[in-house]
Amino acid sequence: MSGAAPRYRQLADDIAGLIRSGALRPGDRLPSVRQTQASRGCSAATVFQAYHLLESRGLVRAAERSGYFVAPAAPPPPAPRERAPQPVAVSEMVFQLLGTGPHEIHAPLGSAFPSPTLFPLDALRRALTAGSRRTSPAELTQQLPGGHSALRRLIALRYLRLGMSIPPDEIVLTDGALEGLNLSLQLLTRPGDTVLIESPGFYAALQALERLGLRAVQVPADPAEGADLDAMAAAIARHAPRACWLMTSFSNPTGSLMPPEKKRALVALLERHGIPLIEDDVYAELPHEGGPPLPAKAYSTRGEVLHAGSFAKTLAPGYRVGWVAAGRYAPALLRAKLSQSLSGSWPAQAAIAHYLEGGDYDRHLRALRRALAEQQRALRTAVLQHFPPGTRVTRPLGGYFVWVELPPGHDSLALHRAALAEGISLAPGPLFSAGGDFRACLRLNGGQPWTPALVRAVTRLGELIRSQSA
């Protein structure tokens, strides 16, 4: 990787070295944030990021109102074993596990969406009426191929605010990001090809590979910083993949955020081998602090990154409006869109364009980010309080998911069945792997307003988990 590591990672690496050397022992208290600020000459945010990164690695633990402590020593995780490309067969499991059947869900911890109460639904309804009223009859047919021209221009302006020059003609509007991601994968591959994916990774990516008859090459992913680039380089050398599909910012399921220098190195690695990157970036607008992180596409010089975004997780989940900034593949992707579905919903695109032009989107995003950060924090605290000792929980810097690793011997599939019978949903770990791995893991959704009902649900999950080892 080029350039120096960010200060928070340098600090985290220094503390990790002290732990490995024995200078800091299990149970030792780390210096307070204020002490570290003074000794290192850095900000509180830098110290918190470093401590959160160490916590995600299992090296330290936070104790409420007491600070951070070195975690008990644990056996080192086994080295990721090399796996041959494998066919994918997850769709039936996804349908079975995400369907609730006759059960009435009162605690949707397995949902993939934030609560609809967090979205400006009344303003969107008004925008739907106003956007339709402004649409001329000619526009309904003349602009169908690429999608609503004003919306594409507004999306291009949002890229420009990140320092990226993306012409509107490169942006193809799709029926949600998922259609764009699927079309991109279909465009780049043929049945039997291999595709790099992260593990754990988004189950819809696995379903797309299965549908297209592709084979998965799973790259282990760190829960804090995403895909392992050394493992990816080795997989490229052995298996000659045709494409790579990754979430680089606030991934589903772990919430990992690939640091900027790692995104740069990722793009350089893939471009050296002529492998296009499908970048699923639907959570990028949901950092808990500051603005959206730069996508990997910002570091591409060859147009080999197809960057997919969506308004489903940030503004209008039911409107199914997404896009792909497809680089040099934009003309071919547009043709693929035309042949498959011609166009997305014009009224929905016009409504979102009208809402964005009104200037309220960024104000809404600030409120949404605050709410998601608070809810995710409350969920994480409750899990650590009520789940068995030895449970590990990610601390993402954005989005709304947490990834939970239960102590060895626990079974998230059995937990899912027991919880569903009591009106509690969750997403078991095997959903996020081509090989059914992560049996002792689960994904929980922190996108719901934190209520006494959710507190009771997490408490009950803890009881069900403990009963597995009784």
- Into how many domains does the chain fold? 3
Same domain, 251 and 334: yes
Examine residue 258 and state whether it is found in any structural domain, yes or no: yes
Mean pLDDT to the nearest integer, 8-34? 85
Bigger pLDDT: 458 vs 73: 458
Bigger pLDDT: 59 vs 263: 263
Same domain, 204 and 60: no
Same domain, 37 and 50: yes
> Over the stretch 104-148, which tens digit does the pLDDT of each residue have?
889 999 999 999 999 998 998 898 888 666 665 555 555 556 788
Examine residue 85 and state whether it is found in any structural domain, yes or no: no
| Contact residues for 393 (Cβ-Cβ < 8 A; gap 6+) | 380, 383, 384, 402, 403, 404, 405
Question: Residue 289 sits in a domain of what CATH number?
Answer: 3.40.640.10
d(C-alpha 429, C-alpha 217), whole Å: 18
Residue 23 has what pLDDT? Answer: 80
Residue 79 has what pLDDT? Answer: 42
> What is the band of 4 on the pLDDT scale with cuts at 50, 70, 90?
low
Q: Is the pLDDT of residue 13 over 70?
A: yes
Bigger pLDDT: 100 vs 396: 396
Same domain, 257 and 393: no
Whole-Å CA distances, 88 to 143, 165, 398, 433, 449: 38, 37, 29, 9, 35
Same domain, 212 and 304: yes
Question: Residue 51 sits in a domain of what CATH number?
Answer: 1.10.10.10
Mean pLDDT to the nearest integer, 146-168? 94
Examine residue 296 and state whether it is found in any structural domain, yes or no: yes
SS3 (DSSP) at 270: helix
Domain hosting residue 43, numbered range: 7-70
Contact by Cβ (8 Å): 323, 180: yes
Examine residue 40 and state whether it is found in any structural domain, yes or no: yes
d(C-alpha 183, C-alpha 337), whole Å: 7
Residue 393 has what pLDDT? Answer: 94
Residue 33 has what pLDDT? Answer: 87
Q: Is the pLDDT of residue 240 over 90?
A: yes
Q: Is the pLDDT of residue 350 over 50?
A: yes
Same domain, 107 and 145: no
Q: Is the pLDDT of residue 453 over 70?
A: yes
**HSE-up (13 A, CA, CB side) for residue 445:** 18
Same domain, 370 and 430: yes
Same domain, 229 and 250: yes
Examine residue 83 and state whether it is found in any structural domain, yes or no: no
Residue 145 has what pLDDT? Answer: 62
Contact by Cβ (8 Å): 109, 401: no
Of residues 66, 65, 64, 52, the one with CA closest to residue 15: 52
Domain boundary among 337, 361, 385: 361
Contact by Cβ (8 Å): 90, 429: no
Q: Bridge partners of 442? A: 404, 428
Of residues 252, 249, 245, 254, the one with CA closest to residue 293: 249
Domain boundary among 361, 392, 419: 361
Same domain, 153 and 288: yes
Of residues 311, 303, 310, 238, the one with CA closest to residue 277: 303
d(C-alpha 438, C-alpha 273), whole Å: 30
d(C-alpha 200, C-alpha 434), whole Å: 9
> Over the stretch 60-88, which tens digit does the pLDDT of each residue have?
887 766 788 888 765 444 444 556 677 77
Same domain, 256 and 373: no
Mean pLDDT to the nearest integer, 206-232? 95
97-111, 216-230, 347-361: segment of lowest average pLDDT: 97-111
Examine residue 396 and state whether it is found in any structural domain, yes or no: yes
Question: What percentage of residues in the chain have a pLDDT greater than 70?
Answer: 90
Q: Is the pLDDT of residue 1 over 50?
A: no
Same domain, 324 and 464: no
Residue 64 has what pLDDT? Answer: 65
Same domain, 406 and 426: yes
Question: Residue 444 sits in a domain of what CATH number?
Answer: 3.90.1150.10
State pTM to two decimals.
0.85
Examine residue 111 and state whether it is found in any structural domain, yes or no: yes
d(C-alpha 184, C-alpha 171), whole Å: 13
Examine residue 48 and state whether it is found in any structural domain, yes or no: yes
Give the CA dihedral 210, 247, 160, 350, nearest 10 degrees.
50
> Over the stretch 294-348, which tens digit does the pLDDT of each residue have?
999 999 999 999 999 999 999 988 889 999 999 999 999 999 998 887 677 778 9
